[in-house]
């Protein structure tokens, strides 16, 4: 066994042991740990900034681009944000141990479901060091142990945050091994992490599409993955035009580089002439490049013709593809063919079409008369999220504390035996 395999086996064994202690930890102890970690992060601000400075310097020396350096940077506001996020997680209800659907059966036994932690989470992420605190907090509150593998460029920052996490866990009497941040940047560590089902129950990759596809292909444990967001807004011909324009504008321009931004606008032909000229003027003024179908290009002279590829592209940029469709059926068909099953929204006042869109569109979030930008754990009231699952299995959409748990059956009897 190589050194890295030995190291990972030890990490895995410690995590498995800690997971058992975490699964039965009292809510008060977990909340105390979260608040102690928040306090440690605030108290260690100088050390965190110093560690981050090393990473930033190395990043500049390595020629990281401005966007990456921005994600890598910790400053006073971001450190305060990490502490605040942990206190918010402490304030959320504890999902573990909740029993639902407890009911009597004809045999006399009472059957229900108890919410339980998944066990050991393997979380793999890139650059942003504040994910270390967020992920540790969500894992801890949901009663799981976690093995965190951050980006190599953030190694010093992540280790400094890890020290705060361990101090907080120990202060609350919980095992420090409940959250382990890998101390190696060897890529073989990831290879081992995703192929040791005896120690790891689920892998959660956060990062670019390349990372996630590689991990999904090679993992031998379940993966909760967030692939990409080709999100659609459909403006129905029975839409309230003012709402239609506001939602379509907000969904594209509120932020460009996010997975819940709209990438394709579908417009019913019955309102295209009334909506597209005004809306495209707003987009163009904002600097959004428009790529459209034939009808769109006729109505919006500034739009370029869209290629077949455009309908499947997540731009993450001020670019929008626009297609005029006949009706809600053609919109649903377009979405079925091109969506990444992340988030889609219909704007309509028509009751039946709203209901059909909600039922028939197979995406992790389906909306009526709201901007796709609302697809987010905080906006949904989950308190925090570890990612947005574009899978259907286990959990779909924003993944909060509940998504990091499972349910087991509990049976309460008075001596019942099978006849």
What distance in Å separates the CA atoms of residue 344 and residue 232, rounded to the nearest whole number? 5
Residue 178, both tokens: 């409940």
Q: For its own copies, give the closer residue by CB, 44 or 372.
A: 372
What distance in Å separates the CA atoms of residue 297 and residue 266, rounded to the nearest whole number? 14
Closest CA to 349 of 271, 234, 240, 248: 240
In the complex, the residues that contact its own copies under the rule CB under 8 A are 20, 23-24, 97, 103, 105, 107, 109, 111, 114, 116, 118-119, 201-202, 217, 220, 222, 240, 242-243, 246-247, 249-251, 254, 336, 345, 347, 358-360, 362-371, 373-375, 379-381, 391-398, 406-418
Q: For its own copies, give the closer residue by CB, 193 or 367.
A: 367
| Distance in Å, CB of 228 to its own copies, minimum | 15
| Distance in Å, CB of 274 to its own copies, minimum | 17
| Distance in Å, CB of 256 to its own copies, minimum | 13
Q: Which residues pair with 398 in a beta bridge?
A: 388
User: Which residues, 6+ apart, have CB-to-CB distance to 241 below 8 Å?
Assistant: 271, 274, 275
| Distance in Å, CB of 145 to its own copies, minimum | 13
Q: For its own copies, give the closer residue by CB, 63 or 409.
A: 409
Mapped onto helix, strand or coil, the DSSP state of residue 17 is helix
CA atoms within 13 A on the CB side of 14: 16
Q: For its own copies, give the closer residue by CB, 49 or 368.
A: 368
What distance in Å separates the CA atoms of residue 273 and residue 266, rounded to the nearest whole number? 13
| Distance in Å, CB of 418 to its own copies, minimum | 4
What distance in Å separates the CA atoms of residue 373 and residue 379, rounded to the nearest whole number? 9
Q: For its own copies, give the closer residue by CB, 133 or 174.
A: 174
Asked whether the beta carbons of 55 and 148 are under 8 A apart, the reply is: no
What distance in Å separates the CA atoms of residue 43 and residue 161, rounded to the nearest whole number? 12
Q: For its own copies, give the closer residue by CB, 162 or 193.
A: 193
Q: For its own copies, give the closer residue by CB, 312 or 379.
A: 379
| Distance in Å, CB of 329 to its own copies, minimum | 12
What distance in Å separates the CA atoms of residue 310 and residue 305, rounded to the nearest whole number? 10
Q: For its own copies, give the closer residue by CB, 103 or 308.
A: 103
Asked whether the beta carbons of 256 and 317 are under 8 A apart, the reply is: yes
Helix (H) or strand (E) holding 245: helix 241-253
| Distance in Å, CB of 407 to its own copies, minimum | 6
| Distance in Å, CB of 146 to its own copies, minimum | 15
Distances from the Cα of 140 to the Cα of 25, 184, 309, angstroms = 10, 22, 42
What distance in Å separates the CA atoms of residue 398 and residue 216, rounded to the nearest whole number? 19
Phi, psi (degrees; rounded to nearest 5) at 231: -95, 145
Residue located via tokens 């697809």:
375
| Distance in Å, CB of 80 to its own copies, minimum | 21
Q: For its own copies, give the closer residue by CB, 15 or 181.
A: 15
């Amino acid at each position: 066994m190589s050194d890295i395999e030995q190291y990972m086996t030890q990490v895995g064994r410690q995590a498995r042991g800690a997971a058992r202690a975490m699964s039965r930890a009292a809510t008060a102890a977990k909340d105390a740990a979260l608040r102690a970690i928040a306090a440690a992060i605030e108290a260690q601000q100088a050390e965190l900034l110093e560690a981050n400075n090393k990473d930033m310097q190395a990043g500049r020396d390595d020629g990281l681009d401005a966007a990456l350096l921005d994600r890598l940077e910790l400053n006073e506001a971001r450190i305060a944000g990490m502490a605040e996020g942990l206190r918010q997680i402490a304030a959320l209800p504890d999902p573990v141990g909740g029993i639902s659907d407890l009911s009597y059966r004809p045999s006399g036994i009472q059957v229900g479901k108890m919410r339980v932690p998944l066990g050991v989470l393997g979380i793999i992420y890139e650059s942003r060091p504040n994910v270390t605190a967020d992920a540790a907090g969500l894992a801890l509150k949901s009663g799981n142990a976690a093995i965190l593998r951050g980006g190599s460029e953030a190694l010093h920052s992540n280790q400094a945050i890890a020290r705060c996490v361990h101090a907080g866990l120990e202060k609350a009497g919980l095992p420090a091994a409940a959250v382990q941040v890998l101390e190696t940047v060897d890529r073989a560590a990831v290879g081992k992490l995703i192929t040791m089902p005896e120690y790891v129950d689920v892998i959660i990759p956060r990062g670019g599409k390349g990372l996630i596809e590689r991990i999904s292909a090679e993992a031998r444990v379940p993966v909760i993955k967030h692939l990409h967001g080709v999100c659609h807004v459909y403006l129905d011909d029975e839409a309230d035009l003012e709402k239609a324009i506001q939602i379509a504008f907000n969904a594209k321009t509120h932020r460009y580089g996010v997975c819940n931004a709209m990438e394709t606008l579908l417009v019913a032909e019955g309102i295209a002439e009334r909506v597209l000229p005004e809306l495209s003027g707003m987009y163009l003024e904002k600097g959004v490049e428009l790529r459209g179908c034939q009808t769109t290009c006729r109505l919006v002279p500034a739009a370029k013709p869209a290629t077949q590829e455009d309908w499947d592209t997540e731009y993450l940029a001020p670019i929008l593809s626009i297609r005029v469709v006949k009706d809600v059926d053609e919109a649903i068909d377009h979405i079925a063919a091109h969506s990444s099953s992340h988030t889609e929204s219909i704007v309509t006042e028509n009751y039946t079409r709203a209901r059909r869109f909600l039922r028939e569109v197979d995406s992790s979030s389906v909306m009526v008369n709201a901007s796709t930008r609302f697809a987010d754990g905080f906006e949904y009231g989950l308190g925090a999220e570890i990612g947005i699952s574009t899978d259907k299995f286990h959990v779909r959409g924003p993944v909060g504390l509940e998504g990091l748990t499972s349910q087991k059956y509990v049976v309460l009897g008075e001596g019942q035996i099978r006849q």
